[in-house]
Structure 1
Amino acid sequence: MPLKTTLFKICLFTLALALVSYKWAEDDFSKLIVSRLQEYRKIFPQEKAFLHIDKPYYVAGDTLWFGAYLAEGSVHFADSASRVLYVDLIEKRTGKNISLKRVKLDGGYGSGEIKLDDALPVGAYTIRAYTNWMRNFPEDYFFHKDVYVFNNETNNPETSTSALDVQFFPEGGQLVTGLSTRVGFKAIDESGLGADVTGFVLDQKNDTIVALKSEHLGMGRFPLQPVAGQIYTAYLRKKSGPYQRFVFPVVKPEGFTMMVNNLTTTDKMRILVYANFPDNVEKDVNIVAHTRGLVAFAAKGKVSKKGLQINIPTSSLPDGITQLTLFDSQNKPVSERLIFVDHGERLHLKINKNQDSYNPREKTEIEIMATDTAGKPVETILSVAVTDGGQIAQQPYDQNIISYLLLSSDLKGHIEQPAYYFDTTKTDRKIKLDILMMTQGWRRFDWADVLQENHSAPTRFVEQGFSVQGEVKKGNKKLAEKVILSVFLTNDSINTFLTTETGESGRFSLDNLIFDDSLNVRLQGMNTKNSAGLNIILAPFDPPKFTVLKIPFYPITVDAVRMSEYLKRAEEYLEIERKIRASREKLLREVTIRGKRAEERDSRKLYSRADASIKVTPQMTGGANTVLDMLQGRVAGVSVMGSGPNARVSIRGGRNEPTFLLDGMPVDKELITSLSVFDVESIDVLKGASAAIYGSRGGGGVISILTKRGNSNYDYSKDVTLGVTVAKIAGFDTPKKFYEPRYDLKRPEDARPDYRTTIHWAPMLRTGKDGKVKFSYFNTDASTNVNIRVEALTTWGVPGSAETVYSVR
């Protein structure tokens, strides 16, 4: 990693030595571009989330398991800034949010699962992942993956075969009269996927200018030299279908074109810039290139009648998409082109099995070895999914962490079969990847945004934990002054008292709360006057909107026999699960336990017994304004002189006032006197030796006020009190352990048939210093082929992916 960083830092110097037909841009514009990009990245640093899920499709009642990775957007370091990742499941047809999970990230890694309800409608769904910070940007910045949910009655949907859409993309962005260029095109069918097409382009005389044929997943390109005054029309068709007419880009009378050759040699790219203007004068231009917001080079030159040729070495550019932008003499972007640089900077993952084939229910032992490009062992986090290949068809060249971080996350639109472009066995992959660069638009860095002088501050922040946010009003009116709020936070492991203050507008926020499952929250105004008139409104979590696309979606490729076997086995397995659950519930209902219930100790009390205790009744609250009013005259030795916050309290005539506790937490007397008497459950008084448990604080005695809401058995949902707001907020979801049978042990539950589709799931394995990690599991009853898929990301941003297959006979 240090070597690569050094190379990147000296990249500009290396490039400067190689420039021949132009010079390194040292003018104000290049400095402006660099500073604006740096400023933009400083204000709006990017994050990328990736989910490794166990299967491409599921049945209702199944469980979707996922491993989560969060990376910094430019260099892909494992991102430790955000610690909360939101993962939700969206029904594509309606946009309805089916499930929301809050995943705890540890250094950029996490895991979880989504239980699919038995009654979940059949159809297409999207699993989505994002952080609070990512919500400052469009939804396109989130991680999305489409999945399909079946049931045992599912039939493959019928689709029409006539719909076709074709778009054309001149290289550099425009067609200019008299300038030779290349035009990319992309054809998609009714499913939104690429369609193989053939066709031709006609001029106004209906003469054929060029023949067209897609090369890969509906994409292709062809050369063209537009003629002045001509309007072109394209006609294309799918195999055996009728020709359809499509609009062709308009030819502009003047402008620039930019062509890039990134394929002929591996160590450099060639940029050709041409211009056509009536004055025939040389044009000053600047060319800027950046990779994910990091400036790769900036150069300036003059475009003559012969054009401008620039040779740029690529050996020191980072892997991934580089955006080339041509700026005219007015510093306006006039042409753009994307290129992909691939040096093979990957994590190498080798999956070693202890044998080539296994018997049903036989133990399988796996070792994964992680090394860098030099063959040295690497310590990293990885996730592993093992599935039954006889039931689950792995989708061809499906998304993996390499293709997502380096490609899909930085391009506009759906990328079909993204892993194809990283399969080193495909000799044509770089050509097809270059065509993809011509037909997909840039998303993450738009020059209109980057070149602004002033940027609005982001509205959302990086979350280290959860937030309690809201607004305080006086009735329905805005506050005229700040208000101090008392906040009680409780759950099984937390019992905390806090205070916070609203802003001038009445808004407040408690941030970075870290807790699992859920948290009971009680807020009350601490103003000494009219606190009961305060209206405290908590802001609920509002998931980001989902854009519903009106495209029928059937994301999987699987033959009918395999699908039939999958649905049959899944229904059998889920039926067994239902019977087991029903049997357990029946046994629980029939069990009768006799005996004396042990009284639970109140966690709010450090003391075992109080010297005196007052149980608050409705009669006592009727004539009392404060807690101290209820205490006055009811406990021997306790004196209360005065009223409200000015009252003086003493126990046995002591000089020092007693320590006040509120649900076990030390507080000041002002807070005690601001409490509503209707909230108090009981008051305990500790005198002398009984108060010694509180050390020096107990020198003047202790008065412990216990509230109804502080009781762990209190039902917050039925509580309505003026000036007080109670709620329950969700915390981190605790990942469930993936169940696996142990066939080396005799257990009753392992006697049932075993045809699980996901055989083993391990979302957070860590390799050692030797680069190795080992794990084992037992195969199912199926005689089948078993698929193992591994995803990994090092802390310094190098991704890795691998898969293998073995047989069970």
Structure 2
Amino acid sequence: MINAVICCLEVILMKRLILPYLAILLLMVCAIPSHAQKVDSMINVYGERYPQEKIYVHFDKGVYNPGETIWFKAYIQAGFLPSNISRNFYAELIDPSNGKLLQRKVVPVYESSTASHFDLPLNLDIPEVVFRAYTNWMMNFDSAFLYTKTLRVVTKSDAGMAQAAAPPILKFFPEGGDLVAGLATNVAFKGTDSRGFPIKVQGVVKDAKGATVASFKSVHDGMGKFELEPVAGAAYTAEWKDEKGTSYKAELPAVKNSGAILQINGTGPRRSFVVKRSMDAGPEMNKVFIVANIYSQVVYKATVDLGTNFMTSGLIPTDNLPSGILQVTLFNSNWQAVAERITFVNNNDYLFLADIVDLGKNLSKRGKNIISVEVPDTLRSNLSVSVTDLAVSDEGKEDIFSRFMLTDELKGFIYQPAYYFSSTADSVQQHLELVMLTHGWRRFKWEDLAAGKVPQIKYPIENYLSLKGELAGLNPSQIPQGTLLNLFMEAKDSSRQLFMLPVDNKGRFEEKGLVFFDTVKLYYSFNKNQKLTESAVVNFNNGSMPSPKLVTFNPLWRIYNPLDSNAVKRSRYIATEAERLRPEIAKRVKTLEAVTVTARQKSKSQLMDDRYTSGMFSGGDAYSFDMVDDPFAMSARDVFTFLQGRVPGLQITGAGGPDGPGLTWRGQTPTLFLNEMQVDANMLSGTPVADIAYVKVFRPPFFGAFGGGAGGAIAVYTKKGGEGRSNTNVPGGMERRTMVGYSAPKEFYAPDYSKENALYDVLDVRTTLYWAPYLLTDKSNRKVTFTFYNNDISKKLKVIVEGMNEEGRMTRIEKILE
């Protein structure tokens, strides 16, 4: 029985955004030893100090051809909240046949997410590529929890990944972990083919004498369960058949002579548990402990007295827990784990509503379509949207719900995990419990927790890129105390940043928190020490994780992704047409480059943009203000006073005041630029409005900003004459180096058929018609509208919107246009 003496019942319900569910429910039982406090406190230490990140990736579609672009948006969580841990994101394409790294991207994280692309080579001849993604922090923990997904590439032959002929597999999983003599328990099973896909199975269990002791039959995706009361010293064999009627045999796990078992029942707001021990179990089983945790936070613990009764039961309230996997562990009196069970708690608190509204559908050739995405919630949300030909679209076998709440939490392959979040029906919840019974959860090594051991952190948290390095070829005595490295970083768009970096006595220096793309030029010298500039060899690096040449083989990479015949046929047709059209497109591009085309007259705003901006400051998603012709500009005290109330979502307080302005946009501070050089608010406040010609305010995110651009950016340009400024001059006496930054972004190509272009005369066979990785909504902007044009071949399209809000709640909505 459970000890009836309860010292306290503590219920702590905290708001989701502050410190959610850290101790939602603790059932504290009197006289639990200090060793217990060490184990449960260590669980909380792991959760609070070593939270583990999870990744979900939204791809633009489900199947690709060589020569196409893989567009992706990644979302990152820690526990069940958006992660604020990592600032760098690593994505890789791997050849699954040999582990060879094909391509790699390093991109910055913005609002717990990031986006980029991979261009597949035209000569790619493998039917699958593995997409692997991780953060530096994730490398400190079990590599089995790194994000991987096999993507199908339809080649000309489309033979698929070669699979060696092998018999199907049937595995058995006693509930709690062990078969114990004399204790009746549930035994779950899972049947798969050699590729890992489920098969239907049925059979019987026989003992060594050939007597049938149980029968079984799969009820969902090769899984099921049956009850068995094992006998001491017995060995059990399953005789079973697959869906083709072929007979096989499989051994059940060995029977332990004594011990204890743990069973969990229920799928609603409560979970009941049953604990049984052997009659001849040792004294360490007279008193046992039950500890339950979710997201590495202890939410229940109790002492169970088995000294006078070999079996007892109890309840674990779960209605106030966050949805997710609850791990229940049974310890003996020495705090050694003897049984464990996981169960999924579904309180339907993980999603928020959104809607796709058709404002104007036209599926004729090159028809114009207008779609809006509406989020009724006032919380900030971060969404991505794809519009693709229906035949090659994502089939939804995995989605943001199933990845974050199921696949990212368990080892091994789960077939079509999105099914388990498709309905709240009891049958679906029971099927999900079969997944819990047939998959292990081993984020903790209990002996390590009992010993107070914590993870060894080899990979520290990264704060974007760094400008770091060291002086080579010098003794410490040759580096004067107080040495400063003066450095200009110049990007390809000619924007510059000035740094003055202290050099320590070992010749090292570092500046963290930088965001720069592609290759940058570094011009440097040592402050008032030309001799040091000439004699020292300076080695620079950006502080990111080095790229691996080979990636350790993972058996899950070989899981073949079958395609429906329509998808294969459609992809082959599109690939054939694209190959036929490629020479014609190249010819037209060459012609357009050689012939002067009379363009439509540009607006005053476009002319100002051409005159003053460059690189990532040119064009973009921004509000533009011509200060020369604006009659209200001259009356403004400073540029911030002028901008007040002119940009939706941008909050400016204290403009024109003695303490300077306060700036926020989506909860972040905008990055400020003067003539494309990063400055502070005081410098812009001190710039006379009469000297300002042009202002651009970029919506978040602005990746041209050093430091992330999470709050967007305000770029101010002063008046100039002549042909414009040149900032290519470098101060004399400076050395030059180059350094690689984040992977260069690429703009998604979306033709505007309302305009004339010689390229539009070619047949349009695009299968991804629209891709937008960042649709951002908040209380002042709950609807985002976008326009796209159909191609020449598609009659049915699928729109998919996925994302999460600032509380970690998720959404996925689909709409078929036909």
Classify the TM-score, shorter chain: 0.7 to 0.9
Within the candidate set 238, 249, 252, 1:234 is matched to 238
Judged with a 3 Å threshold, the aligned counterparts in structure 2 of structure 1 residues 709 and 765 are, in CA distance, closer, same or farther, namely: same
Contact map agreement 2:363 2:796 (CA 8 A) in 1: no
Q: Distance in 2 between matches of 1:246 and 1:508?
A: 62
**CA deviations over 1:374-401 (Å, ceiling 9, x no partner):** xx55541111111111x31533x42211
Task: State whether residues 469 and 507 of structure 1, in contact with CA within 8 Å, keep that contact through their aligned partners in structure 2.
Answer: yes
Distance 2:587 2:458 in 1: 48
Task: Return the alpha-carbon distance in structure 2 between the equivalents of residues 462 and 305 of structure 1.
Answer: 50
1:294 aligns with 2:261: no
8 A Cα contact 1:369 1:377, kept in partner: no
Find the counterpart in structure 1 of residue 371 from structure 2: 366
2:574 to 548, 569, 582: 569
Please report how far the alpha carbon of residue 537 of structure 1 lies from its aligned counterpart in structure 2 after TM superposition: 5.6
Distance (Å, rounded) in 2 between the aligned partners of 1:25 and 1:52: 50
Pair 1:472–1:235, CA change in 2 (3 A): farther
Match of 1:518 in 2: 519
Q: C-alpha distance in 2, partners of 1:28/1:207? A: 49
Q: Which residue of 2 aligns with 1:496?
A: 498
Of 354, 370, 374, 1:349 maps to 354
- Contact 2:379–2:806 under 8 Å retained in 1: no
Change (3 A) 1:472 1:449: farther
CA distance in 2: counterparts of 1:551 and 1:144, whole angstroms: 9
- 1:283 has 2:286 as partner: yes
The residue number in structure 2 matching 1:399 is 398
Q: Is 1:51 matched up with 2:57?
A: yes
Q: What code does the residue aligned with 2:107 have?
A: V
Q: Does 1:729 align with 2:740?
A: yes
TM-score of the pair, normalised by structure 1? 0.75
User: For residue 679 of structure 1, what is the aligned residue in structure 2?
Assistant: none
| Fraction of identical pairs, as percent | 29
For residues 290 and 477 of structure 2, the distance between their equivalents in structure 1, rounded to whole angstroms, comes to 54
Structure 2 unaligned blocks of 5 or more? 1-12, 597-613, 615-676, 678-729
Label 1:249 to 1:740 Cα distance change in 2 as closer, same or farther (>3 A). Answer: same
Distance 1:442 1:111 in 2: 30
Query: Structure 2: how far apart are the matches of 1:548 and 1:379?
Result: 39
Quote the Cα distance in structure 1 between the aligned partners of 2:438 and 2:73: 31
For 2:61, give the aligned amino acid: K
Q: Secondary structure at the match of 1:407?
A: helix
Aligned to 1:134: 138
Equivalent residues of 1:198, 1:238 under 8 A apart: yes
Residues 190 and 551, structure 1, Cα contact 8 Å, conserved in 2 = no
> What are the residue-to-residue correspondences of 1:9-24 with 2, within 5 Å?
12=24, 16=27, 23=29
Shift of 1:514: 2.2
Report the equivalent of 1:682. Answer: none
Q: What amino acid maps onto 1:69 in structure 2?
A: Y
SS of the residue 2:354 aligns to: strand
2:762 paired residue among 735, 752, 759: 752
Q: Tell me the distance in 2 between the aligned counterparts of 1:283 and 1:129.
A: 47
Q: Structure 1 residue 88: deviation in Å?
A: 1.6
Structure 2 equivalent of residue 581 of structure 1: 586
Give the deviation of 1:771 after TM superposition: 3.7
Tell me whether 165-174 or 314-323 shows the greater mean CA deviation: 165-174
Q: TM-score, normalised on structure 2?
A: 0.74
In structure 1, distance between residues paired with 2:499 and 2:558: 51
Structure 1 counterpart of 2:4: none
For residues 361 and 215 of structure 2, the distance between their equivalents in structure 1, rounded to whole angstroms, comes to 50
Q: Is 1:798 matched with 2:804?
A: no
**What is the letter of the counterpart of residue 813 of structure 2?**
A
Alpha carbons of structure 1 residues 106 and 536: separation in structure 2 relative to 1, 3 Å: same
Work out whether 1:558 is the aligned partner of 2:563.
yes
Distance in 2 (CA, whole Å) between partners of 1:6 and 1:762 is 31
Per the TM alignment, residue 59 of structure 1 is displaced from its structure 2 partner at its CA by 0.7
Q: Which amino acid aligns with 2:501?
A: T
Deviation at 1:449, TM superposition (A): 4.0
Mapped partners of 2:758, 2:207: distance in 1: 77
Tell me, yes or no, if the aligned pair for 1:187 and 1:195 is still in contact at 8 Å. Answer: yes
Shift of 1:312: 1.4
**1:367 maps to amino acid:** S
Q: Which residue of 2 aligns with 1:415?
A: 414
CA distance in 2 between partners of 1:11 and 1:414 (Å) = 31
Aligned-partner Cα distance in 2 for 1:239–1:570: 37
Q: Specify the code of the residue in structure 2 equivalent to 1:772.
A: K
Report 1:126-525 matches (<5 A): 126-156=130-160, 159=163, 162-263=166-267, 266-278=268-280, 283-303=286-306, 304-345=308-349, 346-354=351-359, 358-371=363-376, 378-389=379-390, 391-392=391-392, 394-395=394-395, 397-424=396-423, 427-455=426-454, 458-468=457-467, 486=485, 488=487, 489-491=489-491, 492-494=494-496, 496-501=498-503, 509-521=510-522
**CA separation in 2, counterparts of 1:316 and 1:779?**
47
Return the offset for 1:149. 1.6
Given that residues 485 and 523 in structure 1 are in contact (C-alpha distance below 8 angstroms), is that contact kept between their aligned partners in structure 2? Answer: no
Offset, 1:495: 5.0
8 Å CA contact 2:21–2:322 kept in 1: the answer is no
- Superposition deviation, residue 217 in structure 1: 2.2
- What amino acid is aligned across from residue 100 of structure 2 in structure 1? K
The match for 2:618 is none
Residues 161-183 of structure 1 deviation map (CA, whole Å, 9 limit, x = unaligned): 64222322111111110001111
Contact 2:801 2:812 in 1 (8 A): yes
Rounded Cα–Cα distance in structure 1 between residues aligned with 2:281 and 2:142: 42
RMSD: 3.6
How many aligned positions are there?
Answer: 667
Contact 1:191 1:552 in 2 (8 A): no
Q: 1:503 to 1:292 in 2, by over 3 A?
A: farther
How far is 1:481 from its partner?
9.0
Aligned to 2:665: none
| CA–CA separation in structure 2 for the residues paired with 1:552 and 1:731 | 27
